Amino acid sequence: MSSARRTTPDRRTALITGASAGIGKTFASHLAAQGYDLLLVARRAERLDELSAQLHGDHGIRCDVFAGDLSDPATPAGIMERAEELGLGIDVLINNAGMSLSTKFAETPWEEVGGQLQLMLTSLTELSHRVTPGMKERGWGRIVNLSSITALLPPAEGLLYTAIKSYVLLMSQSLDMELKPHGIHVTALCPGFTRSEFHDAMGAETRKTADRLPGVLWQEPEDVVREGWNAVMKGDAVCVTGKVNKLATAAARPIPPGVQYFLGRTLNPFK
């Protein structure tokens, strides 16, 4: 679904994955309120259509949708082909789509493990790669990749989630170093526990465990999105959201993320 008004040269378009709920949906509302046109991606077409109609009605922005599963290797190319058909240049990319399997690595069928890797690692990287040339040509771009505070804390049992989020953190910093001279900011957004459907999707036991956690550990998606968007607009390569999360990650790592980023950028012997 899309509005009748076409995108004009002075308007910018944001591509948001995992846009039907949680942080992705909140990013869509946040950017629509600022006048960004949107291309929303998720598996649930009905939810996307409802959200598209709501955001167009509330803010008068153009809002197109693409119903697809990013665990399918063909989906990233399909999204970009659709954007080209619609005449959309992607100025903002929010790589939010994600999942976490609740079973142990050795007990999980490879098809499920491979799907998680495709969704959260390969598709995220491919979409970042595909939008970058247009951003460089226009001299402006913003990319937010959803990592997690787990990437900054000691490793724990949890299948591949922490390893994937660590990749997203490091990849985002490296990409920001490369692209910032071209007017493109890349931010690894690292929230902690955020109130959304994420834990429900992992099963009843995970939901019960999450419900027992103290309220001080939780953030609302609106707070996460506001902090993340402010960070990417300022050019911060890493954004840990919430005071409690900042304290936890600072205690876990002797060298703060900002200093690690500076050292990695300035002391790289391979440049």
Each residue's pLDDT expressed in tens, for the chain with a length of 271 residues:
443 334 445 689 999 999 999 999 999 999 999 999 999 999 999 999 999 999 999 999 999 999 999 999 999 999 999 999 999 999 999 999 998 887 888 889 999 999 999 999 999 999 999 999 999 999 999 999 999 998 998 877 766 888 999 999 999 999 999 999 999 999 999 998 887 765 455 444 554 555 666 666 778 999 999 999 999 999 999 999 989 888 888 888 777 777 877 877 787 665 6
This prediction's pTM: 0.88
Name the residue ranges covered by the structural domains of the chain.
Answer: 13-264
161 flagged as catalytic: yes
DSSP conformation letters of the chain: ---SSPP-TT--EEEEESTTSHHHHHHHHHHHHTT-EEEEEES-HHHHHHHHHHHHHHH---EEEEE--TTSTTHHHHHHHHHHHTT--EEEEEE-------S-GGGS-HHHHHHHHIIIIIHHHHHHHHHHHHHHHHT-EEEEEE--GGGGS---SSTTHHHHHHHHHHHHHHHHHHHGGGTEEEEEEE--EESSSHHHHT-HHHHHHHHTS-GGGEE-HHHHHHHHHHHHHHT-SEEE-SHHHHHHHHHH-SS-HHHHHHHHHHS-TT-
180 flagged as catalytic: no
Q: Could you tell me which CATH number the domain at 13-264 has?
A: 3.40.50.720
Which member of 165, 167, 246, 261 is catalytic? 165
Q: How many whole angstroms separate alpha carbon 39 and alpha carbon 262?
A: 34
Tokens of 32: 């629509």
Which member of 161, 167, 246, 261 is catalytic? 161
